[in-house]
């Protein structure tokens, strides 16, 4: 993949923000991308969260006389080669909390019901899928969650013995919103994503990710992979944390696109996000997440995450859910899809670019060591002009953490 393929198709009009790991200073830099040039914004803003909370992030980026530090092509190459000794792209968020919405599409709701009915056993998936499909049909696709029609659908399904907690968040008044990943734990373009060894039924989830400031304003958007362990969540919804939050289980990128000109929240309502999985075994799977089919408007999801009941002083990134739920068999007929080591996962959309990652066993991925304390030490070092390197962390730890 080239740098031109990584950025949006209309990248010349896009205002793109990211983060770069800089081995020379031993830490992350806030950057903007203009054509093939990457400019360092860190002298103006220390974190992406700080930039998003600026009175006018767009104006600051467009009017700052930033220094060109890198070429986009060299960052793309180093990121895809996972060469941590060279400058490379990181997840484009830092201090923002990572929140995620589940069951925001009818198709994914039905697959969650199937997981539950299977008890997480993928061997029963094909049989249960047929039973559930017959009971639910396609009549739910036009039902507005929380409406009288949705309440009636819930009543009828319950009478058929098809009640599920996933139907409550899929059809009820309140969406599912959960914390996907700790601050600074997300991985970026080119990095490995982790599949724990205790999971044997799992999949990628290609999603639109909204970037929201501390006041609840949506400043821009990017792409994300909400890696999901279907067998774990299928055993019990109370295992959601185990299913969703593991080392390198959240990929975000490649860059944040700020709202500017005709790129707005409104324009994202019809964005098409595509997915390709390519395995070392020659297997290939394609999928699509059509935002036009989402069952709840973005504003409702944002209100469910932030309001009088919950604030985010450093802003948050919000995964908006996925239409994609893989049923295509990979090996044995009827057992559906699950990841294998070395799968290349490509998530793309015309106006947000392309996020590429490779799956690996979670336990084999470099440990996450660069956290909030390390970031604060690095920023303090920049402010005082002390030598490169972060206090309390060895150079090897910094490189490993900066995946």
Instruction: Annotate 42-84 with DSSP letters as a single string.
Output: TTT-SSHHHHHTSS-HHHHHHH--PEEEEEHHHHHHHHHTT-T
pLDDT tens, position by position, 216-231: 999 999 999 999 999 9
User: Does residue 158 carry a pLDDT above 90?
Assistant: no
Region 366-383: what's the mean pLDDT? 95
DSSP H or E run through 151: helix 148-159
pLDDT of 83 higher than 60: yes
Q: Report residue 18 as tokens.
A: 């990211």
Q: What is the pLDDT of residue 398?
A: 38
At residue 275 the predicted structure's pLDDT band, cuts being 50, 70 and 90, is very high
Q: Is pLDDT larger for residue 12 or for residue 389?
A: 12
Q: What is the pLDDT of residues 86-114, one digit of tens each?
A: 999 999 999 999 999 998 987 777 777 77
Find the mean pLDDT for residues 372-378.
97
Lookup: tokens for 401: 């953490």
pLDDT of residue 393: 39
What is the β-pairing status of strands 37-40 and 27-34? antiparallel
DSSP 8-class letter at 310: B
Dist. CA 177–CA 307, nearest whole Å: 13
- Across the range 18-42, mean pLDDT stands at 97
Per-residue pLDDT at 390 exceeds 50 = no
Q: What is the mean pLDDT of residues 51-74?
A: 95
Q: How confident is the model at residue 370 (pLDDT cuts 50, 70, 90)?
A: very high
Residue with tokens 């395995």: 279
- Rounded Cα distance between 300 and 294, Å, is 12
pLDDT at 157 over 80: no
CA–CA–CA angle 157, 161, 166 (5° rounding): 60
pLDDT of residue 133: 66
Place of tokens 């539950």: 116
- Rounded (10°) CA dihedral 278, 283, 288, 294: -100
278-335 pLDDT, tens per residue? 999 999 999 999 999 999 999 999 999 999 999 999 999 999 999 887 888 898 787 7
Model-wide pTM > 0.85: yes
């Amino acid at each position: 993949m080239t740098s031109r393929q990584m950025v949006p198709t209309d990248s010349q009009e896009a205002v793109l923000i990211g983060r770069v790991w800089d081995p020379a200073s031993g830490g992350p830099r806030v950057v903007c991308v203009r054509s093939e040039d990457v400019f360092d914004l860190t002298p103006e803003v220390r974190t992406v969260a700080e930039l998003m909370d600026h009175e006018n992030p767009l104006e600051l980026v467009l009017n700052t006389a930033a220094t060109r530090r890198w070429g986009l092509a060299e960052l793309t190459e180093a990121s895809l080669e996972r060469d941590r000794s060279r400058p490379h792209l990181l997840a484009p968020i830092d201090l923002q909390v990572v929140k995620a919405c589940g069951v925001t599409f009818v198709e994914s709701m039905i697959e969650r019901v199937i997981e539950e009915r299977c008890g997480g056993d993928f061997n029963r998936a094909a049989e249960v899928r047929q039973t559930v499909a017959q009971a639910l049909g396609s009549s739910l696709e036009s039902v507005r969650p929380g409406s009288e029609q949705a309440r009636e659908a819930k009543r009828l399904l319950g009478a058929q013995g098809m009640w599920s907690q996933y139907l409550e968040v899929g059809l009820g008044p309140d969406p599912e919103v959960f914390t996907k990943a700790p601050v600074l734990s997300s991985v970026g373009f080119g990095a490995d994503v982790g599949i724990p060894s205790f999971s044997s039924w799992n999949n990628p989830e290609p999603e639109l990710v909204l970037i929201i400031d501390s006041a609840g304003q949506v400043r821009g958007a990017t792409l994300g992979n909400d890696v999901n362990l279907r067998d774990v969540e299928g055993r019990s919804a109370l295992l959601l944390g185990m299913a969703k939050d593991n080392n390198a289980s959240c990929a975000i990128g490649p860059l944040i696109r700020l709202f500017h000109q005709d790129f707005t929240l409104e324009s994202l309502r019809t964005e098409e996000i595509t997915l390709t999985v390519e395995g070392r075994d020659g297997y290939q799977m394609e999928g699509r997440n059509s935002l036009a089919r989402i069952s709840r408007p973005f504003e409702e999801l944002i209100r469910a995450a932030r309001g009088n009941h919950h604030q985010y002083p450093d802003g948050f990134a919000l995964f908006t859910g996925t239409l994609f739920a893989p049923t295509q068999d990979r090996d044995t007929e009827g057992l559906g899809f699950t990841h294998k080591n070395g799968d290349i996962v490509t998530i793309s959309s015309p106006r947000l670019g392309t996020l590429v990652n490779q799956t690996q066993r979670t336990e084999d991925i470099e440990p996450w060591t660069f956290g909030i304390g390390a970031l604060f030490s690095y920023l303090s070092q920049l402010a005082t002009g002390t030598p490169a390197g972060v206090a309390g962390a060895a150079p090897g730890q910094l490189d490993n953490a900066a995946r």
